[in-house]
Amino acid sequence: MPKVSVIVPVYYNAESLPLLFAELLKIEQSLHKDGLDLELIFVDDGSGDDSFAELIKIKQQREQTRIVKLARNFGAIRAAKAGAQFITGDSFVFLAADLQDPPELILEMVKHWQEGAKYVICVRNERDDPFSSKLFSAIYYYLLRLYIIPNFPPKGYDLALHDKVLLPYLLQQSGRTSYLQVFLFWLGFSPTVIHYNRQKRQHGRSRWNFAKRLTASLDVLLGFSVIPIRMVSLVGLLVSMVSFSYGGIVVIGAILGKSIVPGFATLAALLSFLLGLVIVMLGLIGEYIWRIFDEVNHRPESVIEAIY
């Protein structure tokens, strides 16, 4: 039978896993009625709670479930890619274990896939998240649409179904890509869109903190666009032109005997501005150089400790 693979990265989700598994069993029954099979792949991303014990219970209840245990926490994206190595289905879905994205949306996505869609995304209308998270997301998606993908959903998406033709590109893509949704959208397949409201997290707390959000945002903006470093070059060029112009004025004034000795405040302000600009430029260049280094040293994206 045609098979739908569902990959679930797990990180501190012990409380929500039993509920998620119950929902997935209902989805499996519905798929069987339509002549489809379901493949479940759970990836334990170094959880420090009872998540792995809950996954073993799931394995005992449904023997054909696959569990991939990573040696430590490598991040949700790399955990998802680790699970993607074991996909055998004709389509695949990455599903969060916190139940904020309703699992029943899988059935609706599958219907579009059966009708011929290669790529189906679930776009959020609203999200019940803290104001700070909404603000950061709004800024991030604005920059993403401005500099990289103009037609990317304004409020983003997490849940999507992909035909197996996208899988080789996913497995080949760079390890520095920290947001698979951007990469898969960037491939150019025209998506079928489903709208929904994201639910409030009911169990546990999100481990997607500000530092991880910022790192992922930088990886996407610097990994998919050359615009940031070009903007820095442009600013450097403009500052150089202004500096040369100011220097020319000083020289001409000295020749005409009208030399004006600049005050300390002006000198300090100029030095602070120029030194700060140089440091920012060097920092941005360093971000690009680090990504080049991370690509060429061939470290594994994740380490699999065991497969069940």
pLDDT (0 to 100) of residue 69:
96
If one counts the domains in the chain, the total is 2
Whether residue 84 lies inside any domain: the answer is yes
Whether residue 215 lies inside any domain: the answer is no
Domain hosting residue 79, numbered range: 3-209
Whether residue 306 lies inside any domain: the answer is no
- For 229-249, letters b (16+ CB in 10 Å) and e give eeebeeeeeeeeeeeeeeeee
> Which segments of the chain are extended strands (E)?
3-10, 37-44, 66-70, 91-94, 119-127, 157-163, 192-198, 304-307
Instruction: Single out the residue in 209, 241, 271 at which a domain terminates.
Output: 209
Q: Over the stretch 179-204, which tens digit does the pLDDT of each residue have?
A: 788 888 888 888 999 988 776 656 55
Whether residue 302 lies inside any domain: the answer is no
Shared domain for 112 and 176, answered yes or no, is: yes
Shared domain for 168 and 26, answered yes or no, is: yes
Shared domain for 126 and 163, answered yes or no, is: yes
Strand order across the beta sheet in which 119-127 lies: 192-198, 119-127, 157-163, 91-94, 3-10, 37-44, 66-70, 304-307
Shared domain for 141 and 253, answered yes or no, is: no
Phi, psi (rounded to 5 degrees) for 91: -150, 160
Query: Is the pTM for the entire model greater than 0.85?
Result: no
Whether residue 25 lies inside any domain: the answer is yes
Whether residue 256 lies inside any domain: the answer is yes
Is 2 within 8 Å of 38 (Cβ atoms)?
no
pLDDT (0 to 100) of residue 259:
59
Residues 20 and 185: their CA atoms lie apart, in Å, by: 26
Residues 39 and 28: their CA atoms lie apart, in Å, by: 9
Shared domain for 278 and 174, answered yes or no, is: no
pLDDT (0 to 100) of residue 104:
92
Shared domain for 117 and 232, answered yes or no, is: no
Residues 64 and 62: their CA atoms lie apart, in Å, by: 6
Shared domain for 83 and 180, answered yes or no, is: yes
Shared domain for 177 and 34, answered yes or no, is: yes
Residue reference for tokens 């403009």: 238
Instruction: Single out the residue in 166, 181, 209 at which a domain terminates.
Output: 209
Shared domain for 91 and 39, answered yes or no, is: yes
pLDDT band at 129 (very low <50, low <70, confident <90, very high): low
Provide the CATH number for the domain around residue 34.
3.90.550.10
pLDDT (average), residues 124-142: 74
Shared domain for 21 and 137, answered yes or no, is: yes
- Count the neighbouring beta carbons within 10 Å of the beta carbon of residue 47: 22
Angle at 122 between CA 180 and CA 65, to 5 degrees: 65
Q: What is the mean pLDDT of the chain?
A: 82
Percentage of the chain lying above the pLDDT 90 cut: 36
Whether residue 58 lies inside any domain: the answer is yes
Instruction: Single out the residue in 176, 209, 242 at which a domain terminates.
Output: 209
Shared domain for 155 and 279, answered yes or no, is: no
Whether residue 246 lies inside any domain: the answer is yes
Is 88 within 8 Å of 5 (Cβ atoms)?
yes
Shared domain for 64 and 96, answered yes or no, is: yes
Is 171 within 8 Å of 85 (Cβ atoms)?
yes
pLDDT (0 to 100) of residue 105:
93
